[in-house]
Amino acid sequence: MELRDYVGALRRHWRAGVGTLLACLLVAGAVLLFAPRTYQATAQVFVSSSAEGTASPQFISARVESYPDVAVSAAVLAPAEAELRTGLTVPQLRGHLSAANPADTSQINVTATFADPDTAAAVANAVAEQFTDVVEELEQPGTKTSPVALTVTNPATAPAGPTTPQTLPVLALGLVVGLFLGLAAAIVRSRLDPTVHDEDGVRQAWGADPGLSVLSAPAGRRRGALSGRPAATLARRLDLLGADRPGSLLVLSPSPEEQEAATAFAADLARELSVRDVPAVLDGAAPAADPSGAAPVSVSVTDPLAPVATWRRAAGSSVVLVVPTGRVVAADLTEVRTLLGEVGATALAVVLTPPTPRRRPAPAIDTGTDPAGAAPGTPTVVPAPRAAATRSRSPRATPAPR
């Protein structure tokens, strides 16, 4: 997929992406609300030499490297627990402690982690005090003089805030994960969406046809003066054909539920043709007198579910397909091309229109008209119930040419 494919997927299925992002942020908020809070307190112990001839940095460094293990040993923790009386065993207390020697220093950091900040500070200080005594005893040679001296230089204090969970990192993680998962959700929805949204989707569903014109209104606020409206563009092209323009235009949507969009486009096209002094007849209305004597263009709205016999009488007509974005299944568009090829009709253009809110269909009205009684060479219009209801409310008069 290219960058424009990702952008298109996000634009079409932004609800899935935003929903996933909000879900991740809600999970992050739940973690902040319900995750147990822990507090860390650290006591620093400084190691120095107390005997002559042992003040070299190499001697101190060699000694300090082994001291973190001593800080969490039973020799230190047992006396500390006896003093604190936390009710924890030595292994349990060791699970709350850590000791480390920062690189290139002679310090030992004793860190205690508990759910209570005061307990964390008290345990870190008690362990640090016991640690200094134990190390000095272990380092005493036969002379009873320890070559090192340990001093608690920075006692632990109760932390003001919890160490975990941290608000900003958790929210940032939720935001980053939500963005990636939202993009993935939009792409998956785009892959699973069988409907047509753009010109590429139309051509993939229609198949190879270099002569097919796909008309759509450009996205954004700025629209071209010549390509701003598909109806005006198609009317201009028909006007340029002059006497070679088709005499009959069938307007339909491959989806029977979108006949209202086809009806609206047919009325818009007839209006644009009349503005250009091209006589147009909308749904069999009586044409106005044309001084030039040019044959009018018949614009009719038909139903893709009409019987095949009706379609065969429309052989030689030009068809304009109205495809509301995201409302027409690609398979239906492919099936319409097969139908047009069988009856000998020509697809003049495919018009991509914005989706319109769907209304509940009106009940069908039986007018008693016999499709077989249509005049020879005239396509019989079998409108969908919704389209019929729409046309019954729209004016039938065709504007007189200028």
Cα separation, 354 vs 198, whole angstroms: 11
pLDDT given at position 391:
39
Q: Give, rounded to a whole angstrom, the gap between the first and last alpha carbons of the chain.
A: 50
The CATH code of domain 39-154 reads 3.30.70.1130
pLDDT value at 134 more than 80: yes
Region class of 240: left (phi > 0), else alpha (psi between -120 and 50), else beta:
alpha
Range of weakest confidence among 4-8, 17-21, 64-68, 372-376: 372-376
Q: Are 265 and 351 in contact (CB under 8 A)?
A: yes
At residue 259 the predicted structure's pLDDT band, cuts being 50, 70 and 90, is confident
Q: What is the pLDDT of residues 311-324, one digit of tens each?
A: 887 777 889 999 98
pLDDT given at position 374:
40
Picking from 348, 383, 353, 354, the residue whose alpha carbon sits closest to that of residue 369 is 383
Class of the CATH-defined domain 199-393: alpha beta
One-letter amino acid at 37 equals R
Rounded to the nearest 10°, the torsion over CA 32, 33, 36, 39 is 60
Range of weakest confidence among 41-50, 56-65, 107-116, 186-195: 56-65
Residues 6+ away with beta carbon under 8 Å from 180: none
Q: What residue spans define the domains of the chain?
A: 3-35+165-192, 39-154, 199-393
At residue 360 the predicted structure's pLDDT band, cuts being 50, 70 and 90, is low
Q: Are 297 and 377 in contact (CB under 8 A)?
A: no
Cα separation, 199 vs 196, whole angstroms: 8
At residue 25 the predicted structure's pLDDT band, cuts being 50, 70 and 90, is very high
Global model pTM greater than 0.85: no
Q: What is the pLDDT of residues 280-301, one digit of tens each?
A: 888 756 555 555 556 788 888 8
pLDDT given at position 309:
80
pLDDT given at position 219:
63
Coil, strand, or helix at residue 81? Answer: helix
